[in-house]
Structure 1
Amino acid sequence: MAIIKHAARQTLGQLIGANNPPVEVPDDSQRQYAWGKKEVDTYWSDIQKFMKARQTGSEASTEYFIGPIVTITDDKVTSRSLLDGQQRLTTSTILIAAIRDTLGQMASTEARLMANNIQRDYIARKDGRHSRPQLFLTLSLFDRDFFKDFIQDWNETTGKVVSTEKPTRPSHKLIQDAYSNFQTHITNAIANIPLDDERLDWLDDLKDCLVKGLVFVEIQTPTSSDANEVFETINSRGKDLSTVDLVRNFLMEKSRDDAEKGRVNNAWQALLDRFERREDIEKFLRHFWVSRHGDVRSHSLYTTIRSHLTTRFDEELPRYEVRHFAAELQDASGRYIDLIVSGTDHEPLNGLLDEVRALGADAAYPLLLAVSGKTNYSEMCRVAREILTFYVRWTVVGRRESTLLEEKLFGLAKAVNGGLPLESASRQIRDWIPDDETFRSDFEKAPVPRSTQARYLLTKIEQHLRISAGVDDVVVANTSTVHVEHIYPQSPAPEYRFSEHGTWINRLGNQTLLLGRKNRAASNRTFPDKAAAYESSSLLVTTNTGLSRLWDADNSAWSTQGIVDRQRDLAKIAVEVWPIDTPAESKLF
């Protein structure tokens, strides 16, 4: 049970004001800045509504409760370490800085004085002209320097910030975007106010709404363990805290010394630097865990990790420490990045990884991650090819239960990490793959409504046709200049529309590829109107697979039988494109 020393109402000005203990986000907890445009716009909208309500003078509209924050405080409350509330306090400081800078760029002496007062009272102050600023809010090591230079280190003479630190992480860009967003909102608001004095009043009211009207409940705890427990409880259902943050906080809590905390920070810094999107870090963490321990759902990932690692960390022998887990996580993240961006130095493998990404076959990554730590890239090609065949035959074409495919691949990933030979793993995948007769039957009647999957299937068939015909592969069929074309149109004229339009429109026999800018109007025409475009195409899947069968010339109507016949022919090709047995290397590359 967490110990709470004190819980008290605090305005924003009391939390980050000059006469109060500074707030610092400790390096051993919390995440980087994460609010995007949606959250920032919502925050601004809420402030504007509160500002208008406050102007009515009613007692019920004098304060706006923005939520709890959790701090670790010493006995005399001379310092405060922030465990929860970073996003709200950081965003509030950014908005205050935008107000300061708007005032700082105005011509009047009063405006510049107001700007200087805002800086000194709510952002940072200096004891002397050349002294370092005392910051009222200090972020963690991931964002600290950038936030100081871009927001806090303000020159009262020029009315500008230093801005020497260059953005190097996604969180830095989010800080920049939040500031620009607020500047735009403020500029648009005061553009409708004609007089400078009235503009000053509006900006002063906005500042007062923030520092005097925004109210938090500060929950003060004596130790990081107490704070983490409160922190997890508060954020158990909210967006403000992710699994990645919870895992990092847990590892910090379990670290035995500063060296282990430093090792965790190094691992997290690598994650933040390697991944462009926070969502990719979340996905990596789950796939890393799945590759070692089997399937676990995202919503229970943290509790599973915490329970498992707590047991392992507490075992005497063999000793497994926080630093070991952090090192394993960091090592795996480098290999995982190579997988999701096709960044290996082995071109055949990169091509297969491109296919995994094109299909959105995320279920493949835990097994590929497990295999990447056990063998070389050439051997990985065989496994990747078998996974793709399994995914195409089972899910994309066969439309079988995808969760069962995930369970199979996730369990196999765990087995590979546990020492299962790769030959045995390959044999297991081949046993799961639907046989040729089943695949051909599935393919003959498969609808493929997702254009990305249709593009992938048709592109692979195109490549196979070119290889079989001995034609140089000079056309890249998955470029942005290629589109998926519905032969029988998605929006045909009423007199040409099938009575069961939805049954036939997304059948693969009704889809092909075309190079060039898509002409939507032309796409909805009859076959004779489009025949010239098909005949002049450089893509064999369009010129050599009998598209004309889809048009009944005698009756001037589209033919469902033509779709059936063409798809049956494509099915015969598909069995060769996605074979169960891995072809010899010489035939592939």
Structure 2
Amino acid sequence: MAIIKQAARQTLGQLIGANNPAVTVPDDSQRQYAWTKKEVDTYWSDIKKFKAARDGGKDSASEYFIGPIVTITDKKVSTRSLLDGQQRLTTSTILIAAIRDALWNMGSTEGASTANNLHRDYIARKAGRREPMEYFLVLSLFDRDFFRDYIQDWNESTGRSPGIERATRPSHTLISDAYSNFTNKISAELSSCVDVEEKLDWLDSLRECLINGLVFVEIQTPTSSDANEVFETINSRGKDLSTVDLVRNFLMEKSKSDIDKQRVNDAWRTILDGFERREEIERFLRHFWVSRHGDVKSHSLYSTIRQNLSLHFNKIPQLYGVGAFSAELESASSRYIDLINCNSGDAAFDASLSEIKNLSADALYPLLLAASEKANYTQLQDLVDAAISYYVRWTVVGRRESTLLEENIFGVAKELFGGAQTDSATHQICEWIPDDETFHADFMEASTPKSSQSRYLLGKIEAHLRNMADVDEVVVSNSPIVHVEHIYPQKPGSEWRLDEHDTWVNRIGNLTLLNGRKNRPISSLPYSQKSSIYDESVLLVTSRTGTSRIWNSEMEWWRVEGIVERQRDLAELALSIWPSGKHWS
């Protein structure tokens, strides 16, 4: 049971004001800045509504409760370490900085003076000329320097921040995006003001809403373990729950030495620097765990990890500790980054990884992560190709329940981690791949409403046709100059619309590829008015697969039998492109 010293009402100005102890995000806990445009927009919308009600004199709008925060405080409350509330406090500070800069940019003496006072009271100040800068919100080591450079180290003479630090992590980009977002929103609001006086009044009203109207409940705890327990309880039901953050907090809590803590921070630094988006980090952590222990759902991932690792960490003597786990996590993250970025160094393997990426076949990553721990990438070619064939035949074309495929793939990954050989894993997957008769029948009925999957299937067929014709290969998957074309249009004029439009429009036999920007007026025309475009196309899947069969030139009408015939021909090609398990026997 967590110990709570007290829960006190605090305005934003009381939390990060100059006369209060600085709020510090400790290096051994919490996460990086994570609010995207969606969360920032919601925050701004709430503040605007609150400001409007407050300006209107509504009694109910005297305060706006923004939620609890959790801090670790000493007996004298001379220091405060922040365990929960970082996103809201950081975003609020960014908005104060945007107000500060808008005031300075008024070009008036009053605006500059007010900007300087706002900065000194709620962002940062120097007590004396030779004293170090005092920051009222101190972020953790991963964001600290960038946040100071971009938001807090502000020159009162020029009204500018240094701008020396470059955004090197996803959280840095989100900080700069949030600032730009607020700056643009404030500028839009000020554009309707008639003069400088009205602009200054509007900005002062916004400042007052934030500083004195924004209210938190600060839950003060005496130790990090108490704070972590409260933090987990508060986050157990909401969107703010972050498995990555909770796992890092847990590892820090279980660290028995500074060396262990440093090992955790080293691992997290590698992870944060290696991924472009926070969602990728969340996905990696789940796939890492699945690659070793089998399937676990995202919502129960943290509790599963905590329970499993606690059994190891609490053993006496401890044979497997925080340092070992962190090292394994760091090593796996480097390989995972290679996999999702198609950067193995082997051209054939990277081409297969590109297929996985184009298909969004995320279920295959735990398999490759487990296999790559004990084998180099060139040794995994058969495994990855068999897995892709399984995925295409089962999920993309067959439209079968993906849960079963995931259970199978995750189970093989766990066996690989346990010591199974790559060849046996490939053999196991081959047994699950639907046979040629089943795949052919599935392909004949297949529709692909997702453009990305249509592009992938048609792109592979195009590459196969070019290989058969011994002509130069053209890469079309995800190419910006190639688009998926519906021969019978998606939006035909009423006079050209088939009675069973939805049945036929997304059938693979009705789809092809065209080079160049999609011309919507042309794409909705009957075949007779665009046939020359198909006939002259450099893409063989368009010019050599009988698209003309879909149009009855005598009746001047669409021919659904032609879609069936063309799809049958494409199905025959598909048998070789995505072979059955016998191919690897």
1:210-359 residue pairs with structure 2 within 5 A? 210-317=210-317, 319-359=319-359
* More displaced 10-residue stretch of structure 1: 126-135 or 25-34: 126-135
For 2:151 and 2:478, how far apart are their aligned partners in 1?
Answer: 44
For 1:580 and 1:85, how far apart are their aligned partners in 2?
Answer: 53
For 2:494 and 2:185, how far apart are their aligned partners in 1?
Answer: 48
- 1:582 to 1:156, Cα distance in 2 relative to 1, 3 A: farther
Does the 8 Å CA contact 1:24/1:140 hold for their aligned counterparts?
Answer: yes
Q: CA RMSD in A?
A: 1.6
**Gaps (5+ residues) in structure 1?**
585-589
Partner of 1:32, secondary structure, is coil
- Partner residue in 1 for 2:145: 145
- What's the CA shift for 1:489? 1.7
- Partner residue in 1 for 2:394: 394
- 1:549 to 1:112, Cα distance in 2 relative to 1, 3 A: closer
- What's the CA shift for 1:187? 2.3
For 2:334 and 2:475, how far apart are their aligned partners in 1?
Answer: 33
- 1:294 to 1:118, Cα distance in 2 relative to 1, 3 A: same
TM-score, with length taken from structure 1:
0.96
Post-superposition CA distance 1:371-411 (Å, at most 9, x none): 11121222211111000110111111111111100000011
Post-superposition CA distance 1:294-331 (Å, at most 9, x none): 00111111111111111111123561101111111110
Q: Which amino acid aligns with 1:401?
A: E
1:37-186 residue pairs with structure 2 within 5 A? 37-186=37-186
- What's the CA shift for 1:581? 4.7
Partner of 1:569, secondary structure, is helix
For 2:249 and 2:532, how far apart are their aligned partners in 1?
Answer: 63
For 2:523 and 2:473, how far apart are their aligned partners in 1?
Answer: 26
Partner of 1:154, secondary structure, is coil
Partner of 2:146, secondary structure, is helix
- Partner residue in 2 for 1:12: 12
* More displaced 10-residue stretch of structure 1: 41-50 or 271-280: 41-50
Post-superposition CA distance 1:212-231 (Å, at most 9, x none): 11111000000000000100
- Partner residue in 2 for 1:3: 3
- Partner residue in 1 for 2:417: 417
Does the 8 Å CA contact 2:284/2:336 hold for their aligned counterparts?
Answer: yes
Does the 8 Å CA contact 1:382/1:582 hold for their aligned counterparts?
Answer: no
For 1:46 and 1:541, how far apart are their aligned partners in 2?
Answer: 52
For 1:55 and 1:564, how far apart are their aligned partners in 2?
Answer: 66
1:426-445 residue pairs with structure 2 within 5 A? 426-445=426-445
- What's the CA shift for 1:170? 1.7
Partner of 1:27, secondary structure, is coil
For 1:521 and 1:197, how far apart are their aligned partners in 2?
Answer: 52
Q: Which amino acid aligns with 1:333?
A: S
Does the 8 Å CA contact 1:385/1:582 hold for their aligned counterparts?
Answer: no
- 1:197 to 1:562, Cα distance in 2 relative to 1, 3 A: closer
- What's the CA shift for 1:166? 2.1
Q: Which amino acid aligns with 1:386?
A: A
For 1:440 and 1:298, how far apart are their aligned partners in 2?
Answer: 35
For 1:146 and 1:554, how far apart are their aligned partners in 2?
Answer: 69
For 1:519 and 1:452, how far apart are their aligned partners in 2?
Answer: 19
Partner of 2:158, secondary structure, is coil
TM-score, with length taken from structure 2:
0.97
Does the 8 Å CA contact 1:386/1:582 hold for their aligned counterparts?
Answer: no
- What's the CA shift for 1:477? 5.8
Q: Which amino acid aligns with 1:292?
A: R
Q: Which amino acid aligns with 1:142?
A: F
Does the 8 Å CA contact 1:459/1:478 hold for their aligned counterparts?
Answer: no
For 1:449 and 1:485, how far apart are their aligned partners in 2?
Answer: 12
For 2:475 and 2:353, how far apart are their aligned partners in 1?
Answer: 20
- What's the CA shift for 1:474? 4.5
Does the 8 Å CA contact 1:290/1:296 hold for their aligned counterparts?
Answer: yes
For 1:327 and 1:521, how far apart are their aligned partners in 2?
Answer: 57
- Partner residue in 2 for 1:587: none
- Partner residue in 1 for 2:496: 496
Aligned pair count reads 584
For 2:477 and 2:17, how far apart are their aligned partners in 1?
Answer: 60
Post-superposition CA distance 1:427-452 (Å, at most 9, x none): 10110001111111111221122121
For 2:478 and 2:119, how far apart are their aligned partners in 1?
Answer: 53
- 1:311 to 1:488, Cα distance in 2 relative to 1, 3 A: same
- 1:253 to 1:564, Cα distance in 2 relative to 1, 3 A: same
**Sequence identity (%):** 63
- 1:152 to 1:498, Cα distance in 2 relative to 1, 3 A: same
- 1:470 to 1:186, Cα distance in 2 relative to 1, 3 A: closer
Partner of 2:530, secondary structure, is helix
Partner of 2:392, secondary structure, is helix
For 1:478 and 1:101, how far apart are their aligned partners in 2?
Answer: 41
Q: Which amino acid aligns with 1:355?
A: E
For 1:394 and 1:358, how far apart are their aligned partners in 2?
Answer: 16
For 2:19 and 2:318, how far apart are their aligned partners in 1?
Answer: 51
- What's the CA shift for 1:527? 2.0
For 1:58 and 1:510, how far apart are their aligned partners in 2?
Answer: 61
Q: Which amino acid aligns with 1:369?
A: L
For 2:204 and 2:308, how far apart are their aligned partners in 1?
Answer: 53
Q: Which amino acid aligns with 2:32?
A: Q
- 1:276 to 1:477, Cα distance in 2 relative to 1, 3 A: closer
**Gaps (5+ residues) in structure 2?**
none
- 1:122 to 1:414, Cα distance in 2 relative to 1, 3 A: same
For 2:198 and 2:44, how far apart are their aligned partners in 1?
Answer: 20
- 1:495 to 1:116, Cα distance in 2 relative to 1, 3 A: closer
Does the 8 Å CA contact 2:367/2:409 hold for their aligned counterparts?
Answer: yes
For 1:420 and 1:581, how far apart are their aligned partners in 2?
Answer: 19
For 2:107 and 2:54, how far apart are their aligned partners in 1?
Answer: 29
For 2:83 and 2:231, how far apart are their aligned partners in 1?
Answer: 7
* More displaced 10-residue stretch of structure 1: 390-399 or 174-183: 174-183
- What's the CA shift for 1:112? 2.5
